Structure 1
């Protein structure tokens, strides 16, 4: 999980500000490079008398792009690259641009309409989270209002399997390079069955989760904190622990998705929507 080349998708809206604030923080802490991209729709090609309208539309798009990147430059400074990329879909455009520029991670903000402090998934995120060849990092709504001064801890949402084991390995190396702690959490969701049956099942799940976490943390060069989070649903389980202002959650891609692509599974979708801090979805590597 490299974080040296950060690509931020930007638009002149609150979600653009949130994603850019997170990208700047990541670039600064990782001592990396930042590219800020505005994905705009293509101009149409029309023959005959409508050519004047086409020219006016192209001029408008150029003016909009210049204004958008000027705004981004005021926020992120001169130590970044600013590019305009043309594509019908903003998410697919970022996927294409990340591949062309060799980005290590794509950062965007929450879709509009969601709760403040939470992540809503819109069309841009949906395109990224089902086709990106690099990890995707999502900022909660309002993240730019009071961004942390630094990343303080990485938390891996762990579920035993090759994908999550690889995610722990990557996260451990990244946490070490950033000089921050690593935590592993496993969610235990109660079933709603009759009390005696449920308690017996929960005891087995707790023991299994704790054992898996200890095994995943064993042999790491740094001390790794482990926690089992329990609740009736994902949001309730995540609410049973504390989250630092500079926290970031890491989720592995679904094992059913394509290799070397991001693919969001059902549990990860629930984690993204319930999280109160940024969430990074890794690509599937095995």
Structure 2
């Protein structure tokens, strides 16, 4: 097994490699930094231009691999290799290479315009997350750490896919040797500017959500205890908006967040639901998106 890192040519942010090595410190497997460079047109009419383009792309790939090897020097003692391949689609090529190289997870960085410490998908990584059959780990912009995975936080919802995700994350926490935290995120309606309060009916709905979430977490606690996991943290993260809700629980160096894909979409195994997407955008720690589970 291995960690496959999508490493862009001319990459100016080594956050994805940082995250891959963090995972490797907890679960030792080779880290493979792979750059995908564009393929030429391959038509007789463009033969001369195509040849120049291929030479340029090959040089881009070689330089990118050299940059990745320089990044490896920050993490001595861990197995790693850098390579480059030609492909027309970066997401499709990464998935093909992940299968060929026996990767169990694909690791990518955030967009260049993301704020430091925040996760933001590029158009390529968005397509990857929505089509990969493997988990995809996304590092916040400018992410740096020297720790392993100390704690895994799962975004938990009380539906079939959410329970499936919980079991998978419980196993992940075991293999990574990390503590497990189960968090249910509840976003409550904002107070109205005129009355500065919510209506009685809205209050009842919010109270019902909280009761249902607490009951589901109690059931989850009992379920995990039956699996031999007794030392598990539980939390309800509430707020009037997603940034507030996500930041309402404490985050530490060594944390990663795990979310799943939507349980309601007919292609649930590959599509993020709206809740999971908002958690990803507001997470201050690396996020692992697991296909075929509830987010």
Q: Structures share a fold, TM > 0.5? A: yes
Deviation for aligned residue 1:192? 4.0
Note if contact 1:136-1:262 (Cα within 8 Å) is conserved in structure 2.
no
178, 203, 214: which one aligns with 1:210: 214
Aligned partners of 1:21, 1:126: CA distance in 2, in Å?
A: 20
Matches within 5 A, 1:1-286: 4-11=1-8, 12-15=10-13, 17-47=14-44, 50-76=46-72, 79-143=79-143, 146-192=144-190, 194-220=198-224, 221-222=228-229, 223-255=231-263, 256=265, 258=267, 261-284=269-292
The residue matched to 1:155 in structure 2 has which SS?
strand
Note if contact 2:162-2:293 (Cα within 8 Å) is conserved in structure 1.
no
Which runs of 5 or more structure 2 residues have no equivalent in the other structure? 192-197
Aligned partners of 1:89, 1:33: CA distance in 2, in Å?
A: 24
Aligned partners of 1:64, 1:277: CA distance in 2, in Å?
A: 30
1:1-41: per-residue Cα shift (whole Å, max 9, x none)? xxx421100023234x1111101211222011222110111
Deviation for aligned residue 1:100? 2.7
Which runs of 5 or more structure 1 residues have no equivalent in the other structure? none
Note if contact 1:134-1:262 (Cα within 8 Å) is conserved in structure 2.
no
After superposition, the Cα gap between the structure-2 partners of 1:80 and 1:257, relative to the gap in structure 1 and judged at 3 Å, is farther
1:109-167: per-residue Cα shift (whole Å, max 9, x none)? 00111211111111111111111010011000110xx3242211000000111211111
Deviation for aligned residue 1:178? 2.0
Deviation for aligned residue 1:196? 2.8
